[in-house]
Amino acid sequence: MKKIRPWMGLLILALTLPGCRPFQPAKVLETPYPVVDDSGNPREYRLFLPEGRERRRPLLVYFHGVISPGFKKLPGLKNYTGSPIEETGLIAFCRSRGIILLVPTARYEYTFLDCLSVGWLIDKEIGGVEKIIDAVIAHSDVDPGRVYLAGLSAGAGISHYLANRRPHFYNAILSHGQAYLNQEGEVLSPAEKGPQFGVVFCYNLGDYENIIRFCIDSERVYRENGYRTILLRDLPPRGHAWSSANNERFWKLLNRLGRQN
């Protein structure tokens, strides 16, 4: 019978102790946990895991705006991209700060401004997105008390709907260039009185006038209902796009305004 050398015993002990987890490299996983929505369609997503040994990391869920190749032909949208995750700076930001980043893929196409588009049709998308979030939390080292939502334009819109379906579930949301609206474009009141989740509103310098008004009015409605809110005005870059220069500021505000556990 072979003897276990002392150093091997220490290694085994280190690997079995809860506080001595092996170092995990940063990685990107493509739909690691299968999800099927209520219509029977499989859902896809990307999961960006930071490196390290820590347990119970915060989770940031990001939603892009409406995306269509046809927008390039429209004068008012030719410079608009919908800010896919690769354009936000959030991949490197989250990796460097130990944040798990979840990026769901929009499943359902529709026609917007006579262009075939992909975005976030609330009725069709929200159930599947919730299942994605729940699957990631169930199978990853996520701190359930630090789950955040963020999105640009239509991505901000679905963030509001998700948060108001489960107001005790999310810590805070970042609403970049959009508000909590119904299909008629009317500002909605939160589903429950606050304080619940924190809300960071923002819009860019030179953003669309109706978007600016929606953000101003929605922030006021949330605040009057007892929520912790802030409105950031005239951010760079000019136009309707994610303000990557403010990622650090966004993260600090999400944590400051979020529910204190």
| Residue 154 structure tokens | 């239509």
| Residue 9, pLDDT score | 47
pLDDT tens figures, 157-182: 999 999 999 999 999 999 999 999 99
| Residue 73, pLDDT score | 87
What integer best gives the mean pLDDT of the chain?
91
pLDDT tens figures, 26-43: 899 999 999 999 999 999
| Residue 194, pLDDT score | 95
Residue 82 has pLDDT above 70, yes or no: yes
pTM > 0.85: yes or no? yes
pLDDT tens figures, 110-148: 998 899 989 999 999 999 999 999 999 999 999 999 999
Domains in the chain, ordered, with CATH?
26-257 (3.40.50.1820)
Matching residue, tokens 């019978």: 1
**Position 261 confidence tier, pLDDT thresholds 50, 70, 90:** low
pLDDT > 90 fraction of the chain, expressed in percent and rounded: 81
How is the beta sheet containing 142-152 ordered, strand by strand? 27-30, 45-49, 100-104, 57-63, 142-152, 172-176, 198-204, 229-235
Please give the backbone phi and psi of residue 173, each rounded to the nearest 5 degrees, phi first. Answer: -130, 150
| Residue 78, pLDDT score | 81
Residue 2 has pLDDT above 90, yes or no: no
Decide which of 125 and 71 is more confident.
Answer: 125
Cβ atoms within 10 A of the Cβ of 15, count? 10
**Position 223 confidence tier, pLDDT thresholds 50, 70, 90:** very high
Instruction: Please choose, from the candidates 56, 57, 116, 71, the residue with its C-alpha nearest in 3D space to the C-alpha of residue 239.
Output: 71
